[in-house]
């Protein structure tokens, strides 16, 4: 009965909730452009006022770039920390937008009504689904069912330079039993998901050098080492004939999928052939015997992201280059150690160098994978709560990319994250004409109300 009253309140307050979201969307909080610094600050103030209207104790914290907003409300167990970001991407190229990106409105489309504007899906619309669920709980019952803290960031779209120092300096304020993040998406328009696997990342650049200058290939070809050939041989050796990665020790920390997760994924009916066909491909190219979904959600990768060397301009130049370079990235899963993999990769490359060649390494970003504790009863309770709201049963999903905030919560604050979002593949995140389905906003709000009820019953 308590939940039903909250859901009824959400439904009766839909118009007002939409107007609040539109007001926040009108603020051009573009974090990367200093010209919009005042607008980012104004968006933070808007959120401060909105949280205070719920009865929360709220603070706006200055950082070297853009403010953090924190809030505290409610009591009892569990203690939940909700994270979202209020900054948005630039809108260029403006001529590709069908309307002013900061004059948001509801538009009818063949797939239903959508909210059109910058930040609708990433992340203001998602952030406000949770805030509106809290508002409905308070309106229906005078209080929330548990203790909730809020952390709203204004620098996510520029790499969160202030986030880690802020978290380290405010551990006591921010530490909770569980972090909630609404910056992910549905599996499909009818199937909600809790993202429980996030791949880590390690980037490496290598430069192979041979002769002390570019050489004429007619005079030196065959006699002199060609760095491009050396580099190509090294890169080709990174995978065996089955697609497995050959860096020694690479698979340390990689585990197989639990059978219950594998069963959930199989029930999703993912069309691997269609997924590849949409980008002009027909056959999986990764590890043999692995499904496409498993490859992109749960398996580690080694990808060559760029190669350069010699003459690459118009026409032809018979040059034997002095150097060749490549950029290689590794997506990591489980407990793989990016630093150990970097060390092993470098040793492998150095061991393959022929005489007269040297290598220079340039290390790029590193981050470990995040694997959420799906055996924690809270995760199954949330999954069932989501399933009650949507046509199809929710799944514990993986993600091919990386969401650093989840790793920060685990490493700095010692708590797991539950990533629940309602964006869709066609939302156009970071692109012109970004949108958020009106259904996603409304049912997302109802979903969070259900999740709060489920987590509070534990």
| Residue 458 pLDDT greater than 80, yes or no | no
Three-state secondary structure readout of the chain: CHHHHHHHHHHHCHHHHHHHHHHHHCCCCECCCHHHHHHHHHHHHHHHHHHHHCCCEEEEECCCCCCEEEEEECCCCCEEEEEEECCECCCCCHHHCCCCCCCCEEECCCCCCEEECCCCCCCHHHHHHHHHHHHHHHHHHCCCCCEEEEEEECCHHHCCCCHHHHHHHCHHHHCCCEEEECCCECCECCECEEEEEECEEEEEEEEEECCCCCEEHHHHCCCCCCHHHHHHHHHHCCECCCCCECCCCCCCCCCCCCHHHHHHHHHCCCCHHHHHHCCCCCCCCCCCCCCHHHHHHCCCEEEEEEEEECCCCCCCCCEECCEEEEEEEEEECCCCCHHHHHHHHHHHHHHHCCCCCEEEEEEEEEECCEECCCCCHHHHHHHHHHHHHCCCCCEEEEECCCCHHHHHHHHHHCCCEEEECCECHHHCCCCCCCEEEHHHHHHHHHHHHHHHHHHHCC
pLDDT at 50: 98
Sorted by where each begins, the domain ranges of the chain are: 2-198+369-456, 200-259+287-367
User: Using H for helix, E for strand and C for coil, what is the string for 204-215?
Assistant: EEEEEECCCCCE
Please check the confidence at residue 127 and state whether its pLDDT lies above 70: yes
- In the chain, the percentage of residues whose pLDDT exceeds 70 is 100
Res. 213: pLDDT tops 80 = yes
- CATH topology match: 2-198+369-456 vs 200-259+287-367: no
Give the model confidence (pLDDT) of 332-385 as tens digits: 999 999 999 999 999 999 999 999 999 999 999 888 899 999 999 999 999 999
CATH number assigned to the domain covering 2-198+369-456:
3.40.630.10
Residue 1 has pLDDT above 80, yes or no: no
Per CATH, which fold does 200-259+287-367 belong to? Alpha-Beta Plaits (3.30.70)
């Amino acid at each position: 009965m308590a939940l039903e009253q909250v859901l009824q309140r959400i439904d009766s307050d839909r118009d007002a909730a939409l107007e609040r979201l539109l007001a926040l969307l009108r603020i051009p909080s573009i974090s990367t452009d200093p010209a919009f610094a005042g607008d980012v600050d104004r968006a933070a103030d808007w959120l401060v006022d909105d949280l205070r209207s719920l009865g929360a104790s709220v603070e706006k914290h200055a950082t070297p770039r853009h403010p953090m907003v924190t809030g505290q409300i409610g009591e009892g167990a569990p203690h939940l920390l909700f994270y979202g970001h209020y900054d948005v991407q630039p809108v260029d190229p403006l001529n590709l937008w069908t309307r002013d990106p900061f004059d948001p409105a509801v538009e009818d489309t063949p797939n239903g009504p959508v909210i059109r504007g910058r930040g609708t899906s990433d992340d203001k619309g998602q952030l406000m689904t949770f805030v509106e669920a809290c508002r409905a709980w308070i309106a229906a019952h005078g209080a929330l069912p548990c203790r909730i803290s809020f952390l709203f960031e204004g620098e996510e779209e520029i790499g969160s330079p202030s986030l880690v120092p802020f978290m380290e300096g405010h551990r006591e304020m921010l530490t909770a039993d569980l972090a909630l993040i609404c910056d992910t998406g549905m599996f499909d328009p009818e199937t909600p998901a809790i993202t429980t696997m996030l791949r880590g990342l390690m980037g490496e650049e290598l430069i192979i050098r041979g002769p002390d200058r570019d050489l004429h290939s007619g005079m030196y070809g065959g006699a002199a080492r060609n760095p491009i050939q050396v580099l190509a041989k090294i890169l080709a050796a990174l995978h065996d004939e089955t697609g497995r990665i050959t860096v020694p020790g690479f698979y340390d920390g990689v585990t197989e999928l639990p059978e219950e997760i594998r069963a959930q994924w199989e029930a999703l009916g993912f069309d691997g052939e269609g997924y590849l066909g949409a980008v002009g491909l027909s056959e999986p190219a990764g590890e043999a015997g692995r499904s496409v979904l498993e490859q992109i959600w749960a398996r580690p990768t080694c990808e060559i992201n760029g190669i350069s060397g010699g003459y690459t301009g118009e026409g032809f130049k018979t040059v034997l280059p002095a150097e060749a370079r490549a950029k290689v990235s590794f997506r990591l899963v489980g407990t793989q150690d990016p630093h150990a993999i970097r060390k092993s990769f470098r040793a492998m490359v150095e061991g393959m160098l022929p005489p007269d060649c040297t290598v220079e390494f340039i290390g790029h970003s590193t981050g470990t994978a995040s694997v959420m504790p799906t055996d924690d009863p809270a995760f199954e309770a949330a999954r069932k709560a989501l399933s009650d709201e949507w046509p199809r049963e929710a799944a514990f999903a993986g993600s091919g990319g990386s969401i650093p905030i989840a790793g920060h919560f685990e490493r700095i604050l010692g708590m797991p994250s539950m990533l629940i979002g309602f964006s869709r593949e066609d939302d156009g995140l970071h692109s012109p004409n970004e949108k958020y389905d009106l259904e996603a906003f409304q049912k997302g709000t109802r979903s969070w109300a259900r999740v709060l009820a489920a987590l509070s019953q534990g």
